[in-house]
Amino acid sequence: MALKMTPAEALTESMMRIPEAERPPAALWTPLVQAAQQVASPHTAQLIYTLLGDGASSWAAPLAGPLQFPADHALHLDAGPEWYWLTANLAPKGLEGPHFGLVVCLQRQRILSEYVEREGGWMKVEAQLVQSQTVLTISELGGDPAGGQVVQQSRNVWTPLGGEVGFGADPFLFQCGPDYFEGTADVLPLRLHVEGDAVAVDLTLISDLPAEHAFFLQGAGGLTGGARSGFYYSWPQLQITGSLVAGGVPYEVEGTGWIDHECMATIIPAGAAPPYGINGWTFCAFNLSNGDALVLAGSQAGVLQTRLPAPYGFYVRREADGWVPIDIAGQIEMDAFLPLTEHCVMLPIAWRGEAAAVRNIAEPLRFTVETKPFLADGGFVGPNLSVMGETPVRVQITRTMSPADPPVAISGVGYCESVGYEPTPLYLARALAALAAG
């Protein structure tokens, strides 16, 4: 039997098995190969994976459909990038105090080709690069969006270079170092545990719906197409209780949350067209006070659009035994931006919009959306050095179910997300400089 490949040998050989037509341009490919030949850190491996763009998709097996639950709650170690992503709006339990906006994402990526895994003496779990990202926004009592702070911490783990990861189906487990999601085969009730000097949490997430009906399918029956093809579904209106430590101060907290589970058949190319301007999206998701939920999203490409078409969305109506997602489309208006001079990024800090049902409903559902951020600056740098924005907001929607009915005002809380607002060439240059610096 051949000796087991080293991480550098395994990653380099995996890259050599990417078809030439799917490799990035030579100006990008050459430094990536050089970095892979010397890889000694999961942070370096993460940058290489991102900059390979769609080429790394050749390492992933096609996703089989249709979705089957609870089996598809577990992680799909042969597929493309996959994550469980929590956004939560929390407050000190029974006390006046700050608002906490919490984002926790655990993500896995297949970092080796199936051939190298098989012939290089590697186990499937060793072929997974896993990240844990925690971002906590703290707004001051009184809700001044100019006050407060953002606290973040992240860790990358590739077990051949140190650290521990874990994946389980029954019981459910997704672990990155000391951070983990842990639950039943149906996920809920779910425990979230995060350790760190900047922030630590120990939370329990439940739904008042039966676990098997507590989520809804996004996309088209849970499947998405285009550059983000894969599967996608969500748990809205989660009830959260537990403990949170920020800045050394412990809090007992409670609130609501939302979890997305997404697994992609391909990865998003880092240098995707257009080669100028920005290449990203804005995504808004809200838990409403009447028990319903709302999603609205649109893509950015090239010149920044402040009146962004939002062809994707759902008004998610709560019924006794589960969720009824109603397809909606509209636009998102963003007329205020925060310049992040360190990274040459303009992130939106104001969102409002309008949308209407487009199919699958008899009533002419229409509504408008107004948001107010708890903290204006929700920006942070992700594990692959990309600049992101996850801004906790209050929301007020005005909903009209039919011309004969009066408008109904509904409040809520949630998040507005901004990804890919840094010009692509600037991100590529910054990431390559980080690789060169080791």
Which pLDDT does position 164 carry in this prediction?
A: 97
The amino acid occupying position 109 is Q
pLDDT of residue 362: 60
Q: Provide the residue-wise pLDDT of the chain in tens; the chain has 438 residues.
A: 356 899 999 999 999 999 999 999 999 999 999 999 999 999 999 999 999 988 898 898 888 778 999 999 999 999 999 999 999 999 999 877 789 999 999 999 999 999 999 888 899 999 999 999 999 999 976 566 667 889 999 999 999 999 999 999 999 999 999 999 999 999 999 999 999 999 999 999 999 999 999 999 999 888 887 766 789 999 999 999 999 998 889 999 999 999 999 998 765 544 444 456 788 999 999 999 999 999 999 999 889 999 999 999 999 999 988 999 999 999 999 999 998 767 889 999 999 999 999 865 566 789 999 999 999 888 999 989 999 999 999 999 998 877 777 899 999 999 999 999 998 888 999 999 999 987
Whether residue 2 lies inside any domain: the answer is no
In 3D, which of 104, 69, 102 has the Cα closest to residue 83?
Answer: 104
Q: Determine how many CB atoms are found less than 10 A away from the CB of residue 46.
A: 24
Amino acid 276: pLDDT: 65
In a domain, residue 64? The reply is: no
In a domain, 297, yes or no: yes
Output the CA–CA distances (angstroms, integers) from residue 402 to 289, 328, 364, in the order listed: 21, 15, 6
Give this prediction's pTM: 0.94
Is residue 3 situated within a structural domain?
A: no
Q: CATH code at 245? A: 2.40.370.10
Residue 336 lies in a domain: yes
The span from the CA of 68 to the CA of 72, in Å, is 6
pLDDT at 63: 80
CA 420, 83, 162, 13 torsion: positive or negative?
negative
165 close to 175: Cβ distance less than 8 angstroms: yes
Answer yes or no: is 4 within a domain: no
Q: What is the pLDDT of residues 205-240, one digit of tens each?
A: 999 999 999 999 999 888 887 766 789 999 999 999
Q: Give the closest residue to 305 by CA, choosing from 339, 278, 344, 269.
A: 278
Task: State how beta strands 179-184 and 187-194 pair.
Answer: antiparallel
Domain that residue 330 falls in:
9-18+25-57+71-436
At residue 361, the pLDDT reads: 58
SS3 433: helix
Structural domain count, the chain: 1
278 inside domain: yes
Predicted local distance difference test score (pLDDT) of residue 96? 78
